[in-house]
Each structure stands twice: as C-alpha cells, then as structure tokens.
A and B are shown apart, each in its own frame.
Chain A
Amino acid sequence: MESFIATGLIGISLGTQYTLLALGFTLIFGILGVVNFAHGGFYVMGGYVAYYCNVILGLPYPVAVLMAMLSMAALGWLFEAFILERVIEDHQATLMVTMGFYLVMATAILMIFGAESPQFPFPVTGVWRLGGIYFPYANMIVLGACLAAIVFVYWLVYRTNIGRGMRAMSEDLPVASALGMRTKALFPFAFALATGLAGGTGALVTPILALAPHVGDSVLAFSFLTVILGGLGSVTGATCAAFIVGLIEAYAAVYLGGSKGALTLFALVLIILVVRPQGLLGREVRRS
C-alpha cells in the first residue's frame, strides 16, 4: 500500500512537469495551429538562463526563474514575429522551421555552456517523509508553481480580452480577423506566453532533475503525447492528460520496469487514441 501511494506521488510530480510543458505547447497549437518542435529548446535554454543568473551572477533563485521566463518570452516573440510569421500559413513549413530552430538552439547551448551538466541545485533541499512515503520539498514547490501557472493561464484565456481574442482566433481565424482582431500582435504574444512558460518550466524543473544541452529532446515527445491525448488546443484536456500520462508512466514503470513500462505507456496512448481519435477533451480536428 505504501509503495502504491508513493508511486501515486511520483505520478503527480511527473504530471505537474508535463502540465507546465503541455500548457504552452497546446496554446501554440490551439491559437497558431503550429506544432512547435522547438518547445524543448525553450525549456533547456530557460534552464541555462536560470543557471547563469543564479549560479554565475549570484542572483536569488526566484529572480533567476523570472529572468528565464522573460528572456524566453522575448526570444519566442522575436522568433514568431520575424521567422515563423512568414510561413505561418503552411503547416509543414512551420514544422520545418521550428525543428530547425530547435537544432540551432541546442547547438548554441552546447557551444556556450559545454556538453557536461553544470551544478545547478534547487535552493530548497530536504524531503518530507511518512513511513515509506516521501515527497521532496522541491517537488512540492514545483507543484505549487504549476498550480499557479494553470490558474494564470485559465485567467488569461477565459477572463481577459487578450484571452478572448486568442480563443476567437483559435475557433475561426478568418472570422476573427474579419471582425478586426489584430492577429499580427496576438500571434507573437501567444507564442511568447507559451515559450515563457517553457522557459520557466526549465528553470524550475532542471535543478530537480538535470541540466544538460540535450534534455529538451524527451520534453518534445512527452509534450506531444500529453497534448494530443488531452485533445489539441484544450487547456483542460492537456492538464488532465498530463496527470494521466504521469500516473500511467509512474505505475507502469514501478510495477513493470523501465522498458516494459514505457511500452505499456505508449501502447495505452495508442489504444486511447484509436478509441477516441479526437483526444480526451478535443474538438474538431485541425489539419497539420
């Protein structure tokens, strides 16, 4: 029983990380119709910016996280406005461009910071324990930050004019533009919001796991999995799916082992998608 609960806690930790990543990913897809292959790059680079601010410059950790979010939002804005915007009508071109940008980002990190992991500790150590059940304090803080991010995204998407505009555009872009929505301004904004979230996630998560130039690779696969399972463009769906993926991954890996666990996770996702092709909370399929 203890290990069952402990595994559940692991699943929840995984779920929070996946939620943070999936929120940005799903926003970009929902609004711009772009599958952002560079998402993992913003995550890693956010981690390195936070590391640079916190460890090299000696700024307090929360400031470093903020810097990571802001700088990645700025980079995302620039990337969207100057590169992605030019090919935004062609979904496959956006895929190529974001993929290329990911390679450029990963290489830049490798050239600047080297191939080996630096020491980037989370400022809070220590573990909460009850019998065989444990939960590191750092993971609790990330869970808290994740909840805050979810609330923020909901507030932004459902309670503000910007959010209404973004949702209108994701429902029907031509109509929204005809009604006077300024897509030119909202697209980079939405993209910056998402990459800022990715950067912040990197700043929060890499210290509890590891910071290295290649850690963005697997981020992409899991964001992809989560977002599709939840239903593309659905914030609620992505959140639910993130926790489902996290829990399945945890239980499958603990009870079946690393390799068979991964197999189970992928097979389950495959089955869910075959049964419910539009995802858990998805709506009409967009073309890619």
Chain B
Amino acid sequence: MNNRVPKSLPAEIRPSLFSGHDWIALAIVSLTFVIPFTSTNPQVLSQTNLILIAATAALGVYIMQRLDLMSFAVPSFMAIGGYTVALLSMKLQLTDVFVLAAAAFLMPALCAIPLGALILRLKGVYFVLVTFVLTEIVQLLLFEAGPITGGSNGLVGMPAVKIFGMELWDNPHVLLTTCGLAFVSFIITSVFTRWFRSEFAAIETNDVLAESLGLAAWKYKAMAFSVAAGVSGLAGFALVNMLLTAHPSSFAPMSSVNYITYTIVGGKASILGTLIGALLLVSATDYFALSGEMSPGLFGLLIIVVTMVARGGVVGVVSGLLYRLAGQSPPLENGEHYLVVNGEKGQ
C-alpha cells in the first residue's frame, strides 16, 4: 500500500505514503500485540492498555491538528462510540468484536457529519470553544437520557466481547482487543492523513487561498472531522471494554485536555508524537499518582518543562538531534513537501 503513488501528482512530490515516523509508530503499536501473550503482570497489562487507549483517543486531536484546528470534542465521540457498544452488547446481545468495532467507528463518524456542517466554519479559538461546549452538552445529555444511557449510573454489566465466537474476557484478552483497536486506528489515521497530506497542508497554511484555488476545503474538513470522530469512537470502545462499564465519568469534559496534551507534548507534527506523548505522560501520571496530593502539580511542572525545553514536542527534538548527529538535515513532515515544491518554504 505504501508504494502506491497517486497519478495526479509527479512521484517526487508524493514520494512514499508513509514517512519514517509513521513506520516507527505502526511498528510500536503492532509490537504491543506481543504483550498479552508474554506478560501476566496486571500492572504491565493495565498500563499498556491505558497508554494505547490514550494514544488512540489523542489521534482524534492529531487528525484535526492537520487542519490547524484544536479539538476538545474527543470525549464526546468516545462517549458515542463507547455507549453504542455498551447498548448493542447489552440490549441486542451483539458481542462480535468486528461488528462492535464497526459500530463504534461508524456511529460517531455519522454523528460528526451534521455537527461538522455546523461548526467547521469556525476557526481558531472559536472552534476550540465550540468543541469544548460540545463535550459539556454530551455529558449533560448522557445524564438526561437516563432510560437509554443509565443516567448518572451508566451502563454496568456488559457481556465480554467475542472474536470468532471465542470470549475475550480476561486481562490479556482485554488488552488484545485494545491492541487491535489501536492498530486499526493508527492505520486508518496514518493512511488518511498521509493520503491527503498536501490538501491538508494547503488548508492548514491558508484555507481561504486554498479554497480560492479550487480546493473544496469544506469537504476535507468534514472528512477529517468524521474520521477523527470514528477513531475517538474506537478509543471509547476500548475504554468501555476495559472497564466493562459505560460510565459518564469516563468521558468527562476536562479529559479532552489530556488528549490534547499527549499530542502536543509528544510532537504534533507526526503520528509518532501522539504515541510517544501518550506513552510518556500516561506513565508519568501513573508514577506521580504515588505522590498523592502532589501529583497534579508534578504533572503540570512536567508539561511546562517539556514545552519550554522541547519545542516541537519530544519527537521533534529527538529526531532533530538524531539527524544532527548523523550530519543530515531533518526530513520534512506532513505536507511540507507541497510547500517546498511551491517555493513557500525557504530554508
């Protein structure tokens, strides 16, 4: 798949579909499949689970970042995905993991289309706020729609999901499900964002100009919002599956801040940044939780220090260093090829 070159642009402009960072990220995520088979340590299983769920959720932020939009809507779509799964498995006894994953992706993605039509006209901080308000609204709707969502008690007592009729109920199997969902999400996200990278880069740089040059910006924005919603929905599925409960507190509006932090601290330029950000910060949170009352403060300090020291995120700094050591200039990330070709980026 990586060797397919679109016919519309010459090969030197669209070199390969995936960059080095994409390959590393996908390799890491696929490596996690080993853990459920090799470890029985609950801490290792639970940490890997939490990291993968966090990274998958943060992909929703990463996708919208391609368009220079900062989205706080991740928990809303996670909730839609998670509750869809809980309802299907509890009310309709649908427990096949493929059916549930498809539902967890499609339901939020479909909901995102009419929503996107309303709010994608907004830019900058206005978009930030509207997505923030959206998570608050979803949280209140979960409470008000008690007969369907279980209100403040959530939906408890989901049956275990099944793959080819086999139950995935114990710790390693729950992690296996999460690994699968995370892998699918990373594949979808990297293919989607890399396939349209020049279009996204054009919109990110100047969407008015892009539109006047004939690029249907709204189409790409709507697609991105929809895919971001779908991926968040998969994260919601993984979270609900881990807790065996769809609970409104799992989708609290303020948790959106975490997902944004993972993406930015890790490095928003590549999908690897999202993964590394989630890995570092979830581990840090877990480590800080031991220091009790101090933990949020230590976390805050860490965010400040990383932001000040590592501009461009952890991944940006590390790969910059590596290339400097090797005596090369760093390769260009998403979409920058396009700009170089058009002579807009002169370094």
A–B contact with Cβ pairs below 8 Å: the answer is yes
The proximity string for A residues 95-114 relative to B, scoring 1 for CB distances below 8 Å and 0 otherwise, is 11101111110111011000
A98 to B130, CA, bound (A): 20
A99, B261: Cβ atoms closer than 8 Å:
yes
> A135: CB under 8 A from chain B?
no
Are B126's CB and A273's CB within 8 A?
yes
Residues of B within 8 A of A287 (CB): 68, 123-124
Which residue in A83, A93, A221, A274 is a CB contact (below 8 Å) of B311? Answer: A93
CB nearest to A89 among chain B residues: B311
A286 lies within 8 A of B299 (CB): no
A273 / chain B contacts, CB cutoff of 8 Å: 119, 122, 126, 129-130
Query: For the complex, is B137 an interface residue (Cβ under 8 Å from A)?
Result: yes
Q: How far is the CA of A224 from the CA of B294 in the complex (A)?
A: 27
B118: A residues at CB distance < 8 A: 274
A177 at interface, CB cutoff 8 A: no
User: Which residues of A in the span 68-111 have a Cβ within 8 Å of any Cβ on B?
Assistant: 83, 86-87, 90, 92-93, 95-97, 99-104, 106-108, 110-111
Q: Closest B residue to A229 by CB, please name it.
A: B129
On whether the beta carbons of B126 and A279 are closer than 8 Å, the reply is yes
Interface of A: prevailing SS:
helix
A83-B304, A287-B68 known; A92+B268 contact, CB < 8 A: yes
- Of all chain B residues, the one with the shortest Cβ separation from A98 is B304
Provide the residues of chain A in CB contact with B132, threshold 8 Å: 221, 224
CB-based contact A99/B126 at 8 Å: no
Q: A274-B119, A285-B123 are in contact. Are A259 and B140 (CB under 8 A)?
A: yes
A-B contact count (CB 8 A): 128
B301 interface residue per 8 A CB criterion: yes
Number of B residues near A (Cβ < 8 Å) is 44
- Please measure, in the bound complex, the distance between the C-alpha atom of A40 and the C-alpha atom of B140, giving whole angstroms: 23
B290 at the A/B interface (Cβ < 8 Å)? no
Which A residues, 32 to 81, have Cβ-Cβ distances below 8 Å to chain B? Answer: 35
Task: Give the number of residues in A that approach B within 8 Å (Cβ atoms).
Answer: 45
In the bound complex, residues from chain B placing their C-beta under 8 Å from that of A286 are 124-125
Summarize B's interface: helix, strand, loop or mixed. Answer: helix
In the complex, what distance in Å separates the CA atom of A263 from the CA atom of B257?
A: 21
Asked if B297 and A106 make an inter-chain contact with CB atoms under 8 angstroms apart, the answer reads yes
Kindly state whether residue B143 has any CB partner on chain A within 8 Å: yes
Q: Which of B122, B129, B143, B304 is A104 in contact with, Cβ under 8 Å? A: B304
Q: Which residues of B contact A29 (CB under 8 A)?
A: 125
CB pair A92–B264 under 8 Å, yes or no, is yes
Q: Scoring B residues 303 to 315 as 1 if CB is less than 8 Å from chain A, else 0, what string do you get? A: 1100110010000
Q: Which chain B positions have C-beta within 8 A of A270?
A: 130, 133-134, 137
- The answer to whether A263 and B130 touch (CB under 8 A), given A93-B311, A100-B300, A100-B301, is no
Not counting A270-B134, A278-B126, A285-B123, a sample of 7 additional A-B residue pairs whose C-beta atoms are within 8 angstroms of each other reads A92-B70, A92-B264, A96-B303, A228-B129, A260-B144, A273-B126, A288-B128
A residues sitting closer than 8 Å to B (CB atoms) are: 29, 35, 83, 86-87, 90, 92-93, 95-97, 99-104, 106-108, 110-111, 217, 221, 224-225, 228, 232, 259-260, 262-263, 266-267, 269-270, 273-274, 277-279, 285-288
Of the A-B pairs whose beta carbons lie under 8 Å apart in the complex, a sample of 15, sorted by A's number, is: A29-B125, A104-B301, A107-B298, A108-B297, A221-B136, A224-B129, A263-B141, A266-B133, A266-B136, A266-B137, A267-B137, A273-B126, A285-B125, A285-B126, A286-B125
The 8 closest A-B pairs by CB, nearest first: A107-B297, A103-B300, A100-B303, A100-B304, A100-B300, A104-B300, A228-B129, A96-B307
